[in-house]
Structure 1
Amino acid sequence: MTTPPESAALAPAGPYKSKTLATWIALLAGSLGLHRLYLHGWRDWLGWLHPVPTTLGVFGVQRMLTFGQDDRLSWLLIPLLGLMVSQAMLMAILYGLTPDDQWNARFNPHGPEHRSGWAVVIGVIAALMIGAAVLMATLAFGFQHYFELQVEAARQISQ
């Protein structure tokens, strides 16, 4: 059985990945998928898919500002933005609450070990506050418009 050269065994598996930086990237730009690109590289296809629903959600907000609350397309598009922001906050929380040993085993197996500080805790707290508010607003918006459509459909049937 052949063994790999000694230089190959000592080569680092990849660049150092900071849990603090990953948490804050997810908090600030996670709806665009930048946290996935930071952790998994430029070839991560899921990271490249994040901007599509985020952009559609922003387009829905712009439509509602332009055409008012009666625009049905904006009713469908705005929750996409809320869900993308909510999932980004969830990822920030998950990154921040991952134990340092597990983080190092997954992202820094051959490099320097990462030790968390207060910046991660503050990031998790901010992500929890923003994520909860955005998720509740998204659910309220979606359910409100769903029931408005049901009432409108019932009125059309009764006429």
Structure 2
Amino acid sequence: MNARPKHKTVAAWLSFLGGPLGLHRFYLHGLGDWLGWLLPIPTALGLYGLERVATLGQDDRLSWVLIPLLGATVAATSLTAIVMGLSNTEAWNARHNPGQPADAAPGATSWLTIWCVVASLLIGATVLMATLAFSFQHYFEYQIEEARKMSQ
């Protein structure tokens, strides 16, 4: 039995707002969760890519690889918030609050949970589409540049 119940709404908001830092993993699984400690790595690399673009400009090829890491991490943790928010009370309590009744309040869905799902869908989908557009644009620009070099 868990000492403190894990609330679905808190976990979903932590995944949405602090997911790239692993906060939702630490809330649900404790500080010993290895995936929670790995999540900040692609986040930091992506932020470094953004810094390289600001410093060196858009032609920096290393930033083309690093920035999508940030976008993928934000999109994945937004998806995690959506999955958490949409899980039913019985499944949530069975997984995260095993010593409590199936219909215990920590697993219940509230309006705050719904707003988290809506915000996660909006921001997560936007970040995912922006990441894909950024990646494909730079990939095709690179291909065109290489084709020009070959044709000369």
State the TM-score bracket (shorter-chain normalisation): over 0.9
Is 2:125 the counterpart of 1:125?
no
- Aligned pairs (5 A) from 1:57-96: 57-96=46-85
Structure 2 CA distance for aligned equivalents of residues 158 and 116 of structure 1: 60
Instruction: Give secondary structure in 2 for the equivalent of 1:93.
Output: helix
Q: Which runs of 5+ in 2 are unaligned?
A: none
2:89 to 100, 115, 122: 100
Q: Which residue of 2 aligns with 1:18?
A: 7
| Correspondence for 2:149 | 156
- What value does the CA root-mean-square deviation take over the aligned residues? 1.0
Q: Distance in 1 between matches of 2:144 and 2:3?
A: 56
- How far does residue 80 in structure 1 lie from its aligned partner after superposition? 0.4
Q: TM-score, normalised by structure 2?
A: 0.94
Q: Deviations over 1:32-89 (max 9, x none)?
A: 1111111111111111000001000000001101111011111110000000000010
How far residue 109 of structure 1 moved from its aligned partner, in angstroms, is 1.4
CA distance in 2, matches of 1:54, 1:156: 34
One-letter amino acid of the structure 1 residue matched with residue 54 of structure 2:
L
Per-residue CA deviations over 1:8-32 (Å, capped at 9, x if unaligned) read xxxx344210000000001101011
Q: How many residues align?
A: 148
The 3-state SS of whatever aligns with 2:78 is helix
Match of 2:40 in 1: 51
Tell me the secondary structure at the aligned position of residue 43 of structure 1: coil
Q: Which amino acid aligns with 1:123?
A: C
**AA aligned opposite 2:25:** R
Counterpart-to-counterpart distance in 1, 2:30 and 2:40: 16
After superposition, where does 1:2-41 map in structure 2 within 5 Å? 12-41=1-30
The percentage of counterpart residues that share the same residue type is: 57
Which of residues 135, 144, 155 in structure 1 aligns to 2:137?
Answer: 144
Question: Offset at 1:93?
Answer: 0.2
When normalised by structure 1's length, the TM-score is 0.90
Q: Identify the residue that residue 134 of structure 1 maps to in structure 2.
A: 127
Structure having the higher Rg: 1
